Amino acid sequence: MCPGCRAILDAGAPLCPYCGWEIERTRVRREGGLVERALGGLGGATGALLAANIAMYGVTLLVAAAWLRAKTPEEIPFARLIASVAWSPPRGVLMDLGALVPEFLIDGGAVWLLLCPVFLHGGLIHLFFNMSALRNIGGVVEEAFGAGKALAVYLISGIAGSVASLGWFFVTGPRMEGDMPIPVPRVGASGAILGFVGVLAALGFRIGGEPGRRLWKPMVQAVGFIFVLGLILAFSDAPVRIDNAAHAGGLVAGLAAGWLCSFGIRARGDPASVRAWDAAAIVLSLLYLAAFVPVVAALARGE
């Protein structure tokens, strides 16, 4: 039935021949695109991303416990081994699972190290803060842009963050302890999450007025806090570092997406645009999955 004139139409008709109503546009506005429908049962793109990050941390703990058992002569229950690494998995395990170590990528051409780190975390606190931020703002991005576009922007921002981190390595060089360079694994979803922050900040500027200000102001404040904290840690003796370069890369990608892309009804009601972003989200998701293939292969070989 046509939503415009209520005429009875053939199933699958893209256009009402009586009033010209675009049936497909109405369906996309009501149900969303392929990605939105597919991820609906998981809580949308945000729910799927939360699940993927948490599941990957679970895998990290299993690999870390197995790694520790291989290095421990006495028999320790596997549950105790998992508990011992849950707070902070060993750095070597993160490297084995695909953490971005610029020296490895430069020397070995391991380009998948630009993608794998987006779903790896260096500890429970790291995971908690990132997932809390993702949960708080992910739904807002989905509501404004649709699940397909939100997922694609998140994955693009993650890559942008890794590329920026690699670029900053060329500026600063490796971390040194005395005369020895120390490989530093770079992990975390924060570059991708900063992409979401950038999307909402740009959207707030585009909306303008008091409604826009309520959107962009907390995003700008959050970015300022993160970058100031990163600078403080960089010039302190703290064992933890914040990768401000990755944050900047993800933020810029998100700002570009939020400034250039359609939003609201325009984003969710244009079938061609929704299909294009759905395709981008699916291709990027498969690319991220493919990035872990060499990691799994190396683990299977015991390397």
Which DSSP helix (H) or strand (E) runs through 181?
Answer: strand 180-182
Rounded mean pLDDT, 14-33 = 61
Tell me, what's the pLDDT at 259? 87
> Confidence class of residue 16 from pLDDT cuts 50, 70 and 90?
low
- Give dist(CA 297, CA 303) in Å, integer: 9
pLDDT for the residue numbered 20: 52
Report the pLDDT averaged over residues 70-80. Answer: 81
Q: What is the DSSP string of 88-107?
A: S--HHHHHHTT-B-HHHHHH
Name the maximum alpha-carbon separation found in the chain. 79
The pLDDT confidence band at residue 116, using thresholds 50, 70 and 90, is: very high
What CATH number does the domain located at 43-300 have? 1.20.1540.10
Query: Residue 36's pLDDT is what?
Result: 87
**Token reading at 50:** 């939360």
Report residue 210 as tokens: 């008091």
Residues 69/75, Cβ–Cβ less than 8 Å: no
Phi-psi region of 43 (alpha: psi -120 to 50; beta: other; left: phi over 0): left
pLDDT-derived band at 1, boundaries 50, 70, 90: low
Average pLDDT over every residue of 140-164: 93
Tell me the mean pLDDT in the region 143-170.
Answer: 93
Token pair 């992409």: residue = 195
Mean pLDDT score, 199-210: 90
Q: Name residues whose C-beta falls within 8 Å of residue 35's C-beta, 6 or more positions apart in sequence.
A: 45, 147, 148, 151, 277, 278, 281, 282
Tens of pLDDT, residue by residue over 241-282, are 788 899 999 999 999 998 887 766 556 667 778 888 999 999
pLDDT over threshold 90, residue 133: yes
Residues 6+ apart with CB under 8 A from 63: 93, 96, 97, 299
- Position of tokens 């708080």? 136
Six-digit token pair at 43?
Answer: 């809580």
Of the listed ranges 31-35, 149-153, 278-282, 291-295, the least confidently predicted one is 31-35
Region 196-210 average pLDDT: 91
Q: Is the dihedral of CA 235, 224, 102, 170 positive or negative?
A: negative
For residues 180 and 130, what is the distance between their CA atoms, to the nearest angstrom?
Answer: 32
Highest mean pLDDT among 36-45, 162-171, 214-223, 224-233: 162-171
Residue ranges per domain, the chain?
Answer: 1-31, 43-300
